Structure 1
Amino acid sequence: MADQNGHVDAGPAGPPMEQVAGAGFPAPPPPIYSCTLTPELVAKAREELQEKPEWRLRDVQALRDMILKEQPNLRTRLDDAFLLRFLRARKFDYDRAMQLLLNYHGSRRAWPEVFQDLKPSTVKHVLDLGFLTVLPRPDPQGRYILCLRPGKWKPNDYHFVDNIRAIYLTLEKLIQPEETQVNGIVILVDYTGVGLSQASNPGPLLAKKVVSILQDGFPIRIKAVNIINEPRIFKGIFAIIKPFLKEKMAERYVLHGSDLSSLHRVIPRSVLPEEYGGVAGRLDMSAWARTLLEAEEEFVVEFCQPDPLEGVVLPDSMLFEGDQAEDSYRSLRSQLYYCY
């Protein structure tokens, strides 16, 4: 039975976040939906996401009914906790949440090399290299910080797609707790060590696919992208990315250069590692790796399954409309050389 705030009595929801193994990272949700938002986050969700606690379960049921009616062949989860991710990401607009859900599943068909056999053990080499991690403490707004270090990757190490696989698995883990669904995340990208070989390797089509998934194919709110230690060549890198960014997302990119005081104005030193002028200790790449690897079984259940879109008729507005982005690759590559 739901109370006036939309809570469902499902018994204990598991240990508090700070007691969970893995340096305090968010715990997975309980099997039956039970609202875990604090009163402050309930108020934030109401103001920013148009989420009304007294209508929450009704809205979930409305989206569920829409899926069953319009896409009866879609092999998707229909539980409350899962569908809430899409409603929150699209401010409880049913049509937009439905489109996001279709894009979410459609990305698997559009990019099989990313999603085939997608589980943490297949990207352990990326985690060991230190390409990405999640800082163990959220910022004062409750947003976890995904830290990317593309300079750690070299084209001869492995295909760039493996980096995308690791990022996607990380986002899947981060979006589980309701706090992240409401607060969103922050991305910190350290371009130390990035040269021409890394910058020119992905190409416009790959960049377009990544941006398309993050903007239109995944139910997460990216509140800021902070770039630090970017070289001159970043002008060329951003020239590849920017055409695919929506205006709102482009405005959330902040370039700090090597000025860490600028970074500290948006991410306090209390949550940053020593490498970035913080006081939270040395950057520990192993804690998040353990968190992902310990979740191997849940990812096998989630992703190592038959095509969820088999027999589904997709709308014309699906992601990745062809390879036209490659037409501009030659000129953009020239720009990279110029910047370098």
Structure 2
Amino acid sequence: MSVRALPDHLQKVVEEELNEVPKRVPEDIKAIKDWLSKQPHIKAREDDQNILLFLRGCKFRLQTVKEKMEEYYVLRSMVINRINVKDPMLPDMQAVLGRPIIIPCPINENGPQVFLVRLNRGDFGKILIDDIIKTGVVIMDIVMQEVDHMVMGFYCIIDLEEFEYGYLSEISPQLIKLIIRGVQNAYPIRPKGYVILNAPSMCVTLYETFKLMLYQKLRDRIHFFNKSDLGEMFKIIPKHILPTEYGGSAGSMDKIRAEWKTKVESYRDWLIDDSKYGIDDTKRLNHPKAYNEFEGSFRTLDID
């Protein structure tokens, strides 16, 4: 078995919170590999580390791993039609990486990973929502690959102070459903909460329209704050890991952005190769499943 050893405090987390039994991990990894060998329609990364990521993300419930892994690759095949090749050197991703739009905060040793997402005034018409989503997917893929700290879950701060209403024309109901499906059903990560900062009334209305698509547990983890409420936000998000613009001591947003731009570019070959993984329904053994159909209720998977 080829997996990274965790530091003691994270090993304690996976054993106490994620049901990991170290001596049983090789057997569980083999069980998923055996299952994948009987699923010719799924082209998945089958290295031990990637399978362990799904096992931990599903609290070692093997049936849930199978469902979430298939959903993950179904979603990839849907999304690949929107985002094409994930080449960070192409102009669309360079435009996003060149602005402080998606910022992974430094590791919080005592809690979940934190991401900061913001749309900057003046970007509408220059940067498409699809390009922001593509870059976000790429950054999340990289974080999942190398940041073991993600076993503690993640928080996402979405700052809408500079949101431009023009972007609403690019946010279709289908896109919202796709994003919700990814968060709830596909990614093997633990959303600990979403903090929405400075939301204009139109965005609050949009949330009220779609919130019934969210599991109750996830709805309970969405918090709305304004600038005057940052003290309350700091009860959830440690202040010191935030950029200086938010009162933290992690450096400026542009400094963190530049570091991540370099990191994403260093993954170029891996990202281009990663585009080949997904679902080929023509090879499905049981019955056809149109992966572009996602109206209606989503498959029920646990949000931990």
Q: Is the aligned partner of 1:224 residue 2:196?
A: no
What's the secondary structure of 1:281's corresponding residue? coil
Q: Is the aligned partner of 1:85 residue 2:57?
A: no
1:128 to 95, 98, 114: 98
Identity %: 22
Return the index of the structure with the highest Cα Rg.
1
Give the aligned residue type for 2:242: L
Distance in structure 2 (CA, Å) of the matches to 1:151 and 1:216:
29
Distance in structure 2 (CA, Å) of the matches to 1:95 and 1:194:
40
1:189–1:307 distance in 2 versus 1, CA, 3 Å:
closer
1:273–1:73 distance in 2 versus 1, CA, 3 Å:
closer
CA contact (8 A) 1:114 1:162 kept: no
**Shift of residue 61 of structure 1?**
0.5
**Shift of residue 318 of structure 1?**
7.9
Distance in structure 2 (CA, Å) of the matches to 1:38 and 1:306:
30
1:105–1:291 distance in 2 versus 1, CA, 3 Å:
same
2:160 to 173, 191, 199: 191
Correspondence 1:63-78 to 2 at 5 A: 63-69=32-38, 71-78=39-46
Distance in structure 1 (CA, Å) of the matches to 2:277 and 2:44:
11
Give the aligned residue type for 2:248: G
Per mean C-alpha deviation after superposition, the further-off stretch among 245-254 and 110-119 is: 110-119
Give the aligned residue type for 2:267: A
1:115–1:53 distance in 2 versus 1, CA, 3 Å:
farther
Correspondence 1:127-206 to 2 at 5 A: 127-135=97-105, 137-152=106-121, 154-177=123-146, 179-206=148-175
- Alignment correspondent of 2:224: 255
Correspondence 1:1-340 to 2 at 5 A: 33-69=2-38, 71-122=39-90, 123-135=93-105, 137-152=106-121, 154-177=123-146, 179-258=148-227, 259-283=229-253, 284=255, 285-303=257-275, 305=276, 308-309=279-280, 311-313=282-284, 321-322=293-294
CA contact (8 A) 1:114 1:164 kept: no
CA contact (8 A) 2:112 2:152 kept: yes
RMSD across aligned positions (CA): 2.4
Distance in structure 1 (CA, Å) of the matches to 2:134 and 2:258:
18
1:125–1:72 distance in 2 versus 1, CA, 3 Å:
same
1:222–1:236 distance in 2 versus 1, CA, 3 Å:
same
Distance in structure 2 (CA, Å) of the matches to 1:86 and 1:221:
11
1:68–1:38 distance in 2 versus 1, CA, 3 Å:
same
Per mean C-alpha deviation after superposition, the further-off stretch among 228-237 and 283-292 is: 228-237
- Alignment correspondent of 2:301: none
Give the aligned residue type for 2:264: L
Distance in structure 2 (CA, Å) of the matches to 1:318 and 1:89:
26
What is the TM-score of this pair, normalised by structure 1? 0.78
Give the aligned residue type for 1:292: V
Distance in structure 2 (CA, Å) of the matches to 1:263 and 1:251:
15
Q: Deviations over 1:106-164 (max 9, x none)?
A: 113323333421232231111113221212x2224343221100244744224311111
Distance in structure 1 (CA, Å) of the matches to 2:153 and 2:139:
14
CA contact (8 A) 2:121 2:164 kept: no
CA contact (8 A) 2:281 2:289 kept: no
What is the TM-score of this pair, normalised by structure 2? 0.86
**Shift of residue 205 of structure 1?**
1.3
What's the secondary structure of 1:35's corresponding residue? coil
**Shift of residue 35 of structure 1?**
3.3
What's the secondary structure of 1:50's corresponding residue? coil
1:321–1:311 distance in 2 versus 1, CA, 3 Å:
closer
1:237–1:252 distance in 2 versus 1, CA, 3 Å:
same
What's the secondary structure of 1:111's corresponding residue? helix
CA contact (8 A) 1:44 1:182 kept: yes
> For this pair of structures, how many residues does the alignment match?
291
Distance in structure 2 (CA, Å) of the matches to 1:151 and 1:240:
24
1:275–1:178 distance in 2 versus 1, CA, 3 Å:
closer
**Shift of residue 181 of structure 1?**
4.1
Distance in structure 2 (CA, Å) of the matches to 1:54 and 1:295:
32
